[in-house]
Amino acid sequence: MTLDTDRLAFALRRVGWPGFAALAILAASAWGEWVYAPAIASDAAALHAQALQERERKTVARPVDAAKETLAAVYARLPDDRLSNATLAAFLQAAKAQGLVVDAVQFRTESSRLPGVVRHQVQVPIKGQYGALRTWISTTLHEHPGVSLDSLEIKRKDALTSELEAELTLSLWASTLRSNVATSVVPHGG
User: Domain containing 147 — which CATH number?
Assistant: 3.30.70.60
The verdict on 124 and 159 lying in the same domain is: yes
- Residues sharing a CB contact under 8 Å with residue 97, sequence separation 6 or more, in sequence order: none
The verdict on 20 and 103 lying in the same domain is: no
pLDDT at residue 1, rounded to an integer: 55
- Residues sharing a CB contact under 8 Å with residue 32, sequence separation 6 or more, in sequence order: none
- Residues sharing a CB contact under 8 Å with residue 91, sequence separation 6 or more, in sequence order: 136, 140, 143, 144, 147
The tens-digit pLDDT sequence of the chain (190 residues) is 577 788 877 777 777 777 778 888 888 888 778 877 787 778 888 888 888 888 777 666 566 677 778 777 878 888 888 888 888 888 889 999 999 999 888 989 888 887 888 999 999 999 999 999 999 999 999 888 888 999 999 998 888 888 999 999 999 988 887 643 433 333 334 3
Rounded Cα distance, 170 and 144, in Å: 11
The verdict on 88 and 170 lying in the same domain is: yes
The verdict on 30 and 98 lying in the same domain is: no
182: in domain: no
23: in domain: yes
Owning domain of residue 152: 81-175
Where a domain ends, among 77, 108, 143?
A: 77
190: in domain: no
The verdict on 129 and 150 lying in the same domain is: yes
Where a domain ends, among 45, 77, 109?
A: 77
The verdict on 32 and 90 lying in the same domain is: no
Where a domain ends, among 18, 44, 77?
A: 77
The verdict on 101 and 128 lying in the same domain is: yes
pLDDT at residue 13, rounded to an integer: 76
188: in domain: no
The verdict on 85 and 68 lying in the same domain is: no
**How many domains does the chain fold into?**
2
Q: What is the gyration radius of the CA atoms in the chain, in angstroms?
A: 39
